Amino acid sequence: MLILGTLPGPESLRVGQYYANPNNQFWSIIYSVFNEAILAPSYSDKLAFLSAHEIALWDVFYSAERKGALDANIRNEIPNDISGLIQPHPHINRILLNGKKAEKAFNRYFSNVSIDAVYVPSTSPAYAKITLEDKIKDWKAAIIT
């Protein structure tokens, strides 16, 4: 499974880790999907957890201009080579699109990709339209098929 966000936020870029903002719900959600608790693991432990569950992380965009962390502020984006990533990895059978901006961009740039691509609610702290519990349910339904 491949999970695509848009771009790492400022804190993630600063420390070189996906979903590094402590308010981002990604790690809480992904551990909850598999009914496991995060016991303050290191980033390498988190990556090992993803690997054990055959989950990869990447971004729809290779680069873009963005003030702050909000996806709504993304401008002048250049897409990543998602098709080029998928070709040598035929075992990728599902893509999760973390948030509406990732979904819209994926549909715009990669409509030719034949892998099942599913929207999941954004893990960003700025997306508060639904509860954490509902986000977990949606993510679980998308991952555990």
Compute φ and ψ for 109, nearest 5 degrees: -95, -20
When pLDDT is averaged across residues 1-30 and rounded to a whole number, the result is 95
Residue-wise burial string across 78-115, b where 16 or more C-beta atoms lie within 10 A, e elsewhere: ebbebeeebeeeeebeebbbbbebbbebbeebbeeeee
Res 3 pLDDT > 80: yes
- Who's near 19: CB < 8 A, 6+ residues apart? 12, 26, 27, 123
On the question of pLDDT at 54 being above 90, the answer is: yes
- Where residue 82 falls among pLDDT bands split at 50, 70, 90? very high
Q: Given this model, what pLDDT does residue 125 score?
A: 82
Give CA–CA dist 2/25, Å, rounded. Answer: 18
- The number of domains in the chain is 1
C-alpha to C-alpha distance for 77 and 6, rounded to whole angstroms: 10
| pTM of this structure | 0.94
Domain that holds residue 30: 2-143
pLDDT at 127: 85
Q: Which CATH number characterizes residue 103's domain?
A: 3.40.470.10
Instruction: Find the mean pLDDT for residues 119-136.
Output: 92
Q: Is 93 a catalytic residue?
A: no
Average pLDDT rounded to a whole number, residues 29-35: 96
pLDDT of residue 69: 84
State the Cα–Cα distance between residues 29 and 13, nearest whole angstrom: 21
Q: 39 pLDDT exceeds 90?
A: no
Beta bridge partners of 97: 4, 119
**One-letter amino acid identity for 136?**
I
- pLDDT interval class at 72 (50, 70, 90): confident
- Active site residue: 24, 73, 98, 112, which one? 24
Of residues 12 and 40, more confidently modeled: 12
